[in-house]
Amino acid sequence: MKLHTVKFTIAAIVTTAIIWSVCSLLVFSLPQLTMMYSGDMMHMNTQELMWSLTFAGFIRGLVIWSVFAGVGAWIFVAIYNSLLSGKE
């Protein structure tokens, strides 16, 4: 079964936008807790760092991460569908 490139790409973009928005909301609402968990996830000591969350930064990050997710999804589907074509 081939994947529909555009639909898969849009799904990846929307999913990334939702995750980015939820993450940003958590950073805004619980900055200390999210800093601690982020440090644990990246094996870093983040006690001396602080968040810099602005509306412009939120929008830029949303666009950039969504575009990267879309490009990655498009490449994934292209490779997946080309591998399927070889089997048929």
Q: Which residues contact 61 (CB under 8 A, 6 or more apart)?
A: 20, 24
- The pLDDT mean for the chain works out to 92
pLDDT tens readout for residues 55-77: 999 999 999 999 999 999 999 99
Contact status, residue 51 vs residue 27, Cβ threshold 8 Å = yes
Domain boundaries, the chain: 5-87
pLDDT at 85: 79
- Percentages helix, strand, coil for the chain (3-state, rounded to 5) are 80, 0, 20
pTM for the full model?
0.81
pLDDT tens readout for residues 33-48: 999 998 898 888 888 8
Q: For the packed helices 5-29 and 31-41, what is the interaxial angle rounded to 10 degrees?
A: 120
